[in-house]
Amino acid sequence: MRLVKLLCSISNPRSKSKTLFSLPSLRGGAISFFSSFSSSTAMDASGESLRRDLAGKQAAVDAQADAVRSLKARPGVSPSEIEAAVEALKKLKMESADIARQIQSSTVAADESSSSSGAAAAVGREAFRQAVVNTLERRLFYIPSFKIYRGVAGLYDYGPPGCAVKANVLAFWRQHFVLEEGMLEVDCPCVTPEIVLKASGHVDKFTDLMVKDEKTGTCYRADHLLKDFCKEKLEKDATLLPEKVAELKHVIAVLDDLSPEQLGAKIKEYGITAPDTKNHLSDPYPFNLMFQTSIGPSGLSSGYMRPETAQGIFVNFKDLYYYNGNKLPFAAAQIGQAFRNEISPRQGLLRVREFTLAEIEHFVDPEDKSHPKFGDVTNLEFLMFPREEQLSAKSAKKINLGEAVAKGTINNETLGYFIGRVYLFLTQLGIDKDRLRFRQHLPNEMAHYAADCWDAEIECSYGWIECVGIADRSAYDLRAHSEKSGVPLVAHEKFSEPREVEKLIITPSKKELGLAFKGSQKMVVEALEAMSESEALEMKAALESKGEVEFHVCTLNKVVIIKKNMVSISMEKKKEHQRVFTPSVIEPSFGIGRIIYCLFEHCYYQRPSKTEDEQLNVFGFPPLVAPIKCTVFPLVKIEKFDIVAKRISKALTTAGISHIIDITGTSIGKRYARTDEIGVPLAITVDSTTSVTIRDRDSKQQIRVDVDEVASVVKEVTDGQSTWADVMWKYPTHAVTPADEA
Amino acid sequence: MRLVKLLCSISNPRSKSKTLFSLPSLRGGAISFFSSFSSSTAMDASGESLRRDLAGKQAAVDAQADAVRSLKARPGVSPSEIEAAVEALKKLKMESADIARQIQSSTVAADESSSSSGAAAAVGREAFRQAVVNTLERRLFYIPSFKIYRGVAGLYDYGPPGCAVKANVLAFWRQHFVLEEGMLEVDCPCVTPEIVLKASGHVDKFTDLMVKDEKTGTCYRADHLLKDFCKEKLEKDATLLPEKVAELKHVIAVLDDLSPEQLGAKIKEYGITAPDTKNHLSDPYPFNLMFQTSIGPSGLSSGYMRPETAQGIFVNFKDLYYYNGNKLPFAAAQIGQAFRNEISPRQGLLRVREFTLAEIEHFVDPEDKSHPKFGDVTNLEFLMFPREEQLSAKSAKKINLGEAVAKGTINNETLGYFIGRVYLFLTQLGIDKDRLRFRQHLPNEMAHYAADCWDAEIECSYGWIECVGIADRSAYDLRAHSEKSGVPLVAHEKFSEPREVEKLIITPSKKELGLAFKGSQKMVVEALEAMSESEALEMKAALESKGEVEFHVCTLNKVVIIKKNMVSISMEKKKEHQRVFTPSVIEPSFGIGRIIYCLFEHCYYQRPSKTEDEQLNVFGFPPLVAPIKCTVFPLVKIEKFDIVAKRISKALTTAGISHIIDITGTSIGKRYARTDEIGVPLAITVDSTTSVTIRDRDSKQQIRVDVDEVASVVKEVTDGQSTWADVMWKYPTHAVTPADEA
């Protein structure tokens, strides 16, 4: 009974909760590593045979789906027959998904595990990351929070340059999305009452499985322990039999889908103990990742720190729709803090307990997902990694966005438009387009209600990191809040003239049903009322021909007999003046901290010092995100240069350009190097009272500019109106002497 | 024993916690009301006599302070004698503070209570506020959070125009403070471990006193109940005897300083019961206003949502000082969410449970609080309300900032500089300078360690609201975190050449002290080591002359006898290369939500419609904060105008100007009125394909501008480079016809 099942599953959680910004990279089929190391997409023989199995299984799924459709279409087929066919289809789908996961796992393992080149790559990545992180921490891009109190895992501060980068990223986000699309920006509190997150599914399902050291009480993520165990075995135990290797790889592949019982059984079977003490572990149990608190003084009103910003938008849908003149489509946006009480945070800035999200909810008529501005992005071409490529173990490839939508690879224009806009956003920030891909979710990753879902993944030393999720979530969220709050969150389409429609009327007889089912009456009534049109008409026909019919009630989990006097089913003609519907929502959701961390890695490089005995660190930030746009250095410590430097500083402040002025006597080369390391694009050196030099960070080229013009030249370049190459043409070049660089 | 006492009191809380953004207005002596009503500063006869008492008491305080000083300077005076004199001084100070409070209370009561003009003023204020709030809610400037679930008291969302105003205020704050002063901005998490807030004093002292309905468990703020009772009595009970009137006024005045026991006794004495049920109330007990939560999965690591952003800066002092090249002064800044779990939030947007703070911590050498840019603000003149004016029941008056610092009314240049910069910030936002005053804290409002403290108070329909606190907090916060963390948070001043200094060396003999005091030995040792130089030298002299001396040990709360062999005291000469000291901090702290709410009230006005049968709402925001800078209206719905409108819209987007385009067929007058109501400063009407009109919101004047020029004209005005008057000169005026306005 399709509709009844749908009702049962509507209480499913916002499944994004578990997938968005969850384990990075390991889900994505072929993994190509840190760009200086060749990516491996080789598959072994067992991979080949798995893919053949998958092809066979998918054919079986298609055939069974056809069978179900024709059964449903044929009159007089009993519900139990249909039910059996649907069950068989479900079983086939699960088997197919299982093979898909095994393909993933063997690809991952081929990339990750014991091969010596893989190990070398891992060492190189680790060293690169250390170099970046050392520079970031030393120059206070970020600081472990509460460091003087030995810190708290998963909490970080942005220090001055990091904070400036973040402010620049957010300002550009507002410009690129909110202003450009005329989005409605809102700002909701982090403290959220329980009922809202109950409706969204977070209270019940936003969990990770945890085990405790039975003696010390130390907590661990159950899947981490199991995965670490399997990976270590695979890497270090040369005596493993092939069957064992296959088994361990399979466990890694299906990790996300194991129940607490299955996880617990594996932990027992492998004899896994607490890593620090070797004590026994408790059975796995779900730990809710939300920070809980109490609102008001009574202690009776439970609340949580929001795990995402989206819910604040959904609960305001009605007001926002009104604000938009009761017209669709429109988008609302929100930037704000979100909180996830991770069991054991790893991976530095990528997995933290508090982070900034920027989310867009674009509300659209489910029957029309076209986008008026799709033409603006249709010619973009960039790395996409559609489902098919992942399952056939290919790599991401350059695809034309217009074609991807035309061919149905991307579900609809609006989704495609946002994918294109996200691509432009990230690359304009400074993300390397060759280390950015859009990966489509596999069927087993997606929520049952989602129409399509793509992640913008950025490759860094940790692998491919999910930084933006772009999902067509259908009507799920608005429906969930409508139901819980009793406030209809719907849109209206007024017809120019009334339309005559046939409407299904189902009237269960409560009296007869009560006599027949007593305490279960309510569930039977609800199941009857929830039938789809075709199901109801089927039942009507069966009741008229046979007088009774078998009926599966999902909430009772059994089949009951419905008799003719228990329900009346009819079609009535009505005039309708409007269509009332729940809008679909397309949601691009940005993990700002992750984007910033990847940006740090992509912009970082080293170059030798003048004497070649030292490597100098450079962050090659585009002016748009550079924390400080320019420096002012008097060449030598004399008063007249100081005066000029201060005059220039004042002009820069007036022009709104963030800058620092360094009047220490340090050599000019050292001062350049010091500010290259925090990514300052331009340096002004005052070496006369009439004209000064401007130096470009990356090329180290210099031009000579009049003192009175210098602020406007800097503004031109840092605002993006001109490039360095443009101004190099306009102004005389200043020859660089050896004394100029460190 | 001065130093020992100081040590005892250093564990006092960050007293700002209780005063900053606490009860608005009622502490400030003379209250002038909503500007359309004359402010009352009349004092009755009892007020006059109180002021005479105060003058007498203050003379006594001064005399006693002199006496203590001369006692301490005289050799051979016993510690107990000094102690007694200090106690007498303390008593006099408390009596003086008590009289000051009574003066405040009688002034407040004169303004607030039963006089009929006061009641009329209250009605006017209430009606005005309703008009503002209706417009704000209807146009989604803000929305009660989680409205479809019936909301949560004290939580509000900013809807699209409110969110835009907030973003503009914060952007200007960054420009005006962070960029202009080269401040180090940081961004720390809201989730904060207990130890940090233990050190700051919040865990122990950030409380309000609460009572519970003994049957239903409903919670109330004890001081609110008592105050409401007193005010109602004063307003409604005409039979009150003069003594009773005086008593009730006194209770209101000292409300903030009552202990739980005193509050409970008053509640019992007056027979106050729960307002809703008339049930008995529990005794008052402290309720901590922080939202508590648990960090990590174990449940063992307690944390709180930060009640202010400042602590994140203090704990990073060492890194920030290093980042600044180990130089003072420098300032760090932070914008972020703060959380206070109010017992019963009142006053709409002014007292909420989650809000945005913008805080600056300016670190400075306590021996040099001059400010190099003080000259930039020295000529400013604005409303100040120094301590003396409050205590003598005068009003705030215009004072020249340079003079206020020169005369010592404002403690130092740096504090004065920030007061001036805050004045410029608020008035440039659009706060009416005649409804803005800087009020100095009275001695009893200030923390014991604070050097001076001023609040920027803005007058709105709720009275004078504290929106920015500007405090010289001395070294308190850094010292508290140094002590708790064991990490020295200090600055260094390197001497150009070493200086010879005499240093006090106190060496208690633990053996002798152990024999004499056994278990108390440790406390005596600490007390001896904590003596100041003068105290130690006094003791040395006494021991040499008499062989023994009485010594008060604060931690034992008793006087002990110290003999000559128990301690050796000497002065030794040493060479020092640097001075090590804890910097003072000057802290301007901005309640962004409060500033925005007051701005709404100050910018709101009504004007009659064309037909005079209706009042139209206008928010006269300056372009700087206007949520949308401009609208684009095709005069009539024809394609060629739509095309021009879209071309203009594109040019505006490119110029980064937020705008809306309204192509509905509504009359142009109605469209103007609709956008006046959300404060859009400029409206472009497309009435031809070559030139268009621009209308100014407040004057309703129009000019005619070429289509290709229009975006740059709008940018000029909204960026603040030109005023409307400037562009009126440059472009031809477009005559306004009656059809143009609603």
Q: For chain A, give the percent of residues with pLDDT over 70.
A: 90
Between chains, do B189 and A315 touch, taking CB under 8 Å as contact? no
Which residues in chain B have Cβ-Cβ distances shorter than 8 Å to A664?
Answer: 325
Cα angle: B208, vertex B213, B218; to 5 degrees: 70
Test A295 with B152 for CB contact under 8 angstroms: yes
Beta bridge partners of A550: A561
What pLDDT is recorded for position B520? 86
Contact A296 B656 (CB under 8 A): no
Mean pLDDT across the stretch A106-129? 64
Q: Which pLDDT band holds residue B33 (cuts at 50, 70, 90)?
A: very low
**A373 Cα to chain B: minimum distance (Å):** 13
| A191 touches B: beta carbon within 8 Å | yes
Q: Do B175 and A656 touch (CB under 8 A)?
A: yes
Interface test with B, best of A145, A148, A334, A477 (most B CBs within 10 A): A148
Q: What is the pLDDT of residue A706?
A: 95
Residue B317 distance to chain A (closest CA, Å):
10
Of A159, A191, A341, the CB nearest to B353: A191
Q: Which residues of B touch A143 (CB under 8 A)?
A: 186, 316, 319
Could you say which of A164, A175, A319 has the minimum Cβ distance to residue B140? A319
Question: Mutate which of B142, B146, B213 to test chain A, going by most A C-beta atoms within 10 A?
Answer: B146
Are A323 and B156 a contacting pair at CB < 8 A?
no
User: What is the pLDDT, as a whole number, of residue A503?
Assistant: 82
Closest CA to B167 of A429, A524, A542, A185: A185
The model's pLDDT over B399-418, given as tens digits with 9 standing for 90+, comes to 999 999 999 999 999 999 99
What is the predicted pLDDT for the residue at A346?
78
Q: Is A319 on the interface with B (CB under 8 A)?
A: yes
Task: Please tell me the least confidently modeled range out of A255-264, B90-99, B171-180, B218-227.
Answer: B90-99
With left for phi above 0 and alpha for psi between -120 and 50, is residue A217 left, alpha or beta? Answer: left
Calculate how close chain B gets to A88, using CA atoms only, in Å: 40
Residue pair A524/A512 in contact by the 8 Å Cβ criterion: no
Residue A118 pLDDT grade (very low, low, confident, very high; cuts 50, 70, 90): low
pTM score, whole prediction: 0.82
Q: What is the pLDDT of residues A228-260, one digit of tens each?
A: 999 888 888 888 888 898 889 888 878 877 889
Mean pLDDT for the stretch of residues B208-215? 92
* Binary contact (A354, B191; C-beta < 8 A): yes
Q: Nearest residue of B to residue A288 by CA position?
A: B297
What pLDDT, on the 0 to 100 scale, is given for residue A105?
Answer: 54
Work out the minimum CA distance from A231 to partner chain B, whole angstroms. Answer: 25
Query: What residues are paired with B456 via a beta bridge?
Result: B438, B468
Residue numbers in A near B167 (CB within 8 A)? 174, 185
pLDDT digits (tens, 9 = 90+) for B378-399: 999 999 999 988 888 788 999 9
* A659-661: strand order across its sheet: A659-661, A630-634, A682-686, A691-696, A702-706, A733-734
CB contact under 8 A, B337 and A339: no
Tokens for A641, please give them: 């240069």
Instruction: Point out the residue among B218, B301, B323 whose CB comes nearest to the CB of A160.
Output: B323
Quick one: closest CA in A to B344, which residue? A296
Q: Tokens for A292?
A: 């809980």
Interface of B with A in 274-303 (CB under 8 A): 287, 291-298, 300-301, 303
Give me the pLDDT at residue B1, please: 30
Across the interface, do B189 and A160 touch by the CB < 8 Å criterion? no
Of these ranges, A9-13, A342-346, B439-443, B680-684, the one predicted with the greatest mean pLDDT is B680-684
pLDDT at residue number A598? 97
pLDDT grade for A656, boundaries at 50, 70 and 90? confident
Cα end-to-end distance, chain B, whole Å: 76
Distance in angstroms (rounded) separating the CA atoms of residues A507 and A568: 5
- C-alpha dist (Å) from residue B511 to A201, B517, B549: 68, 10, 18
- CA B288/CA B266 separation, integer angstroms: 22
Task: Tokens for A290, please give them.
Answer: 């939300």
For position B18, what pLDDT does the model report? 36
Q: Which two tokens stand for residue B79?
A: 């510690």
Please, are residues B485 and A148 in contact by the beta-carbon 8 Å criterion?
Answer: yes
pLDDT band at A46 (very low <50, low <70, confident <90, very high): low
A153 Cβ under 8 Å from any chain B Cβ: yes
How sure is the predictor about A78, in pLDDT bands with cuts at 50, 70 and 90?
confident
* Average pLDDT of the segment spanning B41-53: 57
Q: Residues of B with CB below 8 A from A218's CB? A: 298
Q: Which residue of B has its CA nearest to A285?
A: B297
Residues of A in contact with B658 (CB under 8 A): 179
Identify all chain B residues contacting A487, using CB atoms and an 8 Å cutoff. Answer: 148
Six-digit token string for A626: 């550079």
Phi-psi region at B303: left, alpha or beta (left = phi > 0; alpha = psi -120 to 50): beta
What pLDDT does residue A138 have? 95
pLDDT computed for residue A385 by the predictor = 96
Most confidently modeled range among B445-449, B498-502, B587-591: B587-591
Q: Tell me, what's the pLDDT at B100?
A: 67
CA distances from A742 to A633, A671, A697, A733, B341 (A): 15, 8, 13, 20, 54
Asked whether the CA dihedral A139, A142, A148, A154 is positive or negative, the reply is negative
Q: Which of A166, A196, A664 sits opposite B187 (nearest CB)?
A: A166
Distances (CA, A) of A300 to A289, A297, A334, B218, B344: 21, 8, 29, 10, 14
Measure CB to CB from residue A160 to each of B174, B180, B185 and give the nearest one: B185
Burial letters A694-716, b for 16+ CB under 10 A, else e: bbbbeeebbbbbebeebbebbbe
Q: CA of A342: which chain B residue's CA is closest?
A: B296
Q: Which of A137, A138, A141, A149 to probe by mutation at the B interface, max B CB count within 10 Å?
A: A149
Instruction: Judge whether A172 is closer than 8 Å to chain B, CB to CB.
Output: no
Q: With contacts defined as CB-CB under 8 Å, which chain B residues touch A189? A: 145, 155-157, 353-354
Q: Min CA distance, A303 vs chain B (Å)? A: 10
pLDDT above 50: residue B668:
yes
B388-393, Cβ contacts within 8 angstroms, sequence gap of 24 or more: B389/B29, B390/B28, B390/B29, B390/B30, B390/B104, B390/B439, B390/B440, B390/B442, B391/B29, B391/B51, B391/B54, B391/B100, B391/B103, B391/B442, B392/B51, B393/B29, B393/B30, B393/B41, B393/B43, B393/B47, B393/B51, B393/B103, B393/B107
Using the Cβ of B148 and the Cβ atoms of chain A, whether some distance falls under 8 Å is answered with yes
**Which of A517-526, A638-647, B185-194 has the highest mean predicted lDDT (pLDDT)?**
B185-194
- For strands A630-634 and A682-686, give the pairing: parallel
Per-residue pLDDT reduced to its tens digit, B345-381? 878 888 899 999 999 999 999 999 999 999 999 999 9
Contacts across the A-B interface (CB distance below 8 Å): 212
Q: What is the average pLDDT across B697-715?
A: 95
The share of chain B scoring above pLDDT 90, in percent, equals 59
Q: Is B6 on the interface with A (CB under 8 A)?
A: no
pLDDT at A632 exceeding the cut of 90: yes
**Quick one: DSSP state of residue B175?**
I
pLDDT at site B22: 35
Contact A182 B660 (CB under 8 A): yes
The conformation of residue A141, written as its DSSP 8-state character, comes to S
Range A378-389 average pLDDT = 95
Contact between chains at A160 and B305 (C-beta distance less than 8 A): no
Residues 585-644 of A with CB under 8 A from B: none
Closest in A149, A187, A291 to B157, CB measured: A187
What phi and psi values does residue B563 have, to the nearest 5 degrees? Answer: -100, 165
pLDDT tens string B421-465 = 999 999 999 999 999 999 999 877 777 788 899 999 999 999 999
Q: pLDDT at residue A197 above 80?
A: yes
Provide the percentage of residues in chain B whose pLDDT is more than 70.
90
Which residues, 6 or more positions from A630, have their beta carbon under 8 angstroms from its beta carbon? A652, A657, A659, A680, A681, A682, A683, A684, A714, A718
CA-nearest residue of chain A to B291?
A293
B654 contact A CB<8A: no
pLDDT on residue B103:
62
- Partners of residue A164 in chain B, C-beta under 8 Å: 185
| SS3 state at B22 | coil
Q: Give the pLDDT score at A391.
A: 82
Among A336-345, A438-447, A575-584, A640-649, whose mean pLDDT is lowest? A438-447
Query: Considering only CB atoms, which chain A residues are within 8 Å of B210?
Result: 297
Higher pLDDT, B43 or B708: B708
- Cα–Cα separations (whole angstroms), residue B240 to A225, A397, B42, B230, B616: 75, 87, 21, 11, 46
